[in-house]
Amino acid sequence: MVILGISCYYHDSAAALLRDGVLIAAAQEERFTRKKHDPGFPHNAIQYCLKEARITLKEVDAVAFYDKPFLKFERILETYLAFVPKGILSAWKALPLWIREKLWISDRIRTELKYEGKLLFSEHHESHAASAFFPSPFTKAGVLTMDGVGEWATSSIGSGEGNRVKLLKELNFPHSLGLLYSAFTYFTGFRVNSGEYKLMGLAPYGEPVYAQQIFDELMDLRADGSFRLNMDYFDYGAGLKMTSKKFAKLFGGPARKPETQIGKREMDLAASIQVVTEEIMLRMAKHTVTLSGSRNLCLAGGVALNCVGNGKLLRSGVIDDLWIQPAAGDAGGAVGAAYVAHYHYYAQQRPNPVGDAMQGSYLGPAFSDEDINMFAESNGYRYRRMPEEQLIEATAEALAAGEVVGWFQGRMEFGPRALGNRSILGDPRSEVMQKNLNLKIKYRESFRPFAPSVLREQVSEWFSLDRESPYMLLVAHVTENHLRKTAPETRGFDKLYEQRSDIPAVTHVDNSARIQTVDGQWNPRYHALISAFHQKTDCPVLINTSFNVRGEPIVCTPEDAWRCFMRTKMDRLVMGSLVFLKKDQEKQAESDEWKEEFVLD
């Protein structure tokens, strides 16, 4: 039984392939086209999945799509009609594209793929729910999905047991937690659908002084987590902006223009919407436990990438255990659609026992030493080949000496996080590493934090976390024994310059960190590297940030990695068993080709 799942046409299009219920491959289209959040039809991702499975499209039993376009079109059309005459301009711009491309997805799939087999469609939040429960290690769990909007639903509560997921309750458009958070993302000057991480990272610099205004003026929040938004403050219903003039008046003036200075207002707005989001997540989780009868919880949807909220949810005591789909956004819908087809349509049984079926999320393309060697030789790049033990020792030594290392190994990660295969690594003990990585490597805002990768067996010694967090989706605080005293009166971005722990480069200004635990099962080479660094420094932690710069998707191929390496101030690039030192690449570094600048978002 082979099922191909597809998601596309909104953002982060992707493909995933199941064989007899086992996830063989999954990848986002952006990694191949190099267009960040590429919404287009995932030709390249599909071809990769088929190649990884060593099959042709004729051997696929069904293609599953992650939502129902006619229902979504119905919602869009009804919304425009509800906002006449204001919605006419938006309809004029959006409807021709819908009618030409997005509405007739059955025909599009058959035409693009020359596929004559079975096509199946699941609802958007059903796909999210399936992507959360079926790969999880639970036989029974509550399922909570939260995002911007699918067809009509913006959040859903469900239950999963055996080979079935049932949706029990939903919140409908325009009342959306994801769109509420995105409205504040827009208003504080960041880009919707990509800047939400920035807003979350900005929150600890501010105070939640606007939280009560949000509760009082913008919404009617109920005990079960459902709410109604006051749409007088928003313009996303049928307009071309997220917020209205009334929103700007409530919060002291117009939205911040992108790339201008971030002020106290933006910091406080970020802190406030984060507090509101956490309260809604908590109430929804409580109601999910009540309706599902299980204290195990699975999360998906874009809001599930709010790792600060996830961490607080886990610490609340409302639930016993939590599992979050690592590709929680629309990309993960491809996985969910495939699972819906496998378990609901074809009524297959789940394996016994169940485990984490995402396999560390290492589901993308891999490149052998021969591939990398051929790339280097054909371009005349200088490298050194090392056996495994020497490679690990040399890289750990370089990291301990303060070098920044591009680490390109094994299969590419699926989802928005680099988890040790397409990563940029550094020493978390350094007092200047966080600033240098942001300004000289990532070319992004200086306030944004970096995540630690920590040995699974050492996590509780360094962080207030008693379980694994393999997908970098939980935030916890650094333990007291590794904290340093800081001045309580420090405010705003001045907090950046305080050394608040023994690992300052990964400790955010509220003493928290977005944690990835690493064990030897899913990523033995990365585990060995951190272990070697631990032996040299007595620190079982590395900085792990995604192998890309601002405005660019995470690297996929050796060529992608090389270009990023040469355009930044990384010291060395380790691809497979081959090591490339920046100082060895003088001719390439001086060539005009590598002086091109990145286009920043």
pLDDT at 234: 95
Domain ranges, residue 580: 369-595
For the record, the structure tokens of 447 come out as 């306030």
Q: Is residue 249 part of a domain?
A: no
Q: Is residue 160 part of a domain?
A: no
Cβ–Cβ < 8 Å for 118, 64: no
Q: What is the CA radius of gyration of the chain?
A: 23
- Dist. CA 519–CA 239, nearest whole Å: 48
pLDDT at 600: 34
Q: Within a 10 A sphere around the Cβ of 22, how many other Cβ atoms?
A: 11
Question: Checking DSSP bridges between strand 296-300 and strand 321-324, what pairing results, if any?
Answer: parallel
Q: Is residue 316 part of a domain?
A: no
Number of continuous H segments (helices) and E segments (strands) in the chain:
20, 21
Mean pLDDT in consecutive groups of 10 residues from the start of the chain, 601 residues: 96 96 98 96 97 96 94 80 68 70 84 93 98 98 97 97 97 97 98 94 96 98 98 86 96 95 96 98 98 98 97 96 98 98 97 93 98 96 95 98 97 97 97 87 85 97 96 97 82 78 95 96 97 98 96 97 95 97 74 41 35
Chain-centre distance of CA 327, in angstroms?
A: 6
For residue 112, count CB atoms less than 10 angstroms from its CB and return exposed for 0-12, middle for 13-18, buried for 19 or more: middle
pLDDT at 89: 66
pLDDT at 536: 98
Distant-in-sequence, close-in-space partners of 239: CB < 8 Å, separation ≥ 6: 83, 86, 87, 90
Q: Is residue 94 part of a domain?
A: no
**Tokens 């607080």 appear where?**
312
Q: Is residue 109 part of a domain?
A: no
Q: Is residue 295 part of a domain?
A: no
- Dist. CA 133–CA 164, nearest whole Å: 9
pLDDT at 99: 72
pLDDT at 87: 62
**Tokens 């002291």 appear where?**
252
Specify the number of domains making up the chain: 1
For the record, the structure tokens of 420 come out as 């040790």
Q: Is residue 318 part of a domain?
A: no
Taking alpha carbons only, the member of 277, 253, 246 closest to residue 179 is: 277
- Dist. CA 524–CA 505, nearest whole Å: 24
pLDDT at 597: 39
List the beta bridge partners of residue 169.
Answer: 157
Distant-in-sequence, close-in-space partners of 107: CB < 8 Å, separation ≥ 6: none
- Dist. CA 202–CA 493, nearest whole Å: 9
Distant-in-sequence, close-in-space partners of 54: CB < 8 Å, separation ≥ 6: none
Query: What is the length of the chain?
Result: 601
Residue 553 carries which side chain, given as an amino acid letter?
P
DSSP letters along 235-289, please?
A: -TTTSSSSB-HHHHHHTTSSPPPTTSPP-HHHHHHHHHHHHHHHHHHHHHHHHHH
CATH number at residue 453: 3.90.870.20
pLDDT at 509: 92
pLDDT at 85: 66
pLDDT at 267: 97
- Dist. CA 203–CA 147, nearest whole Å: 20
Cβ–Cβ < 8 Å for 580, 383: yes
Q: Is residue 168 part of a domain?
A: no
- Dist. CA 142–CA 129, nearest whole Å: 10
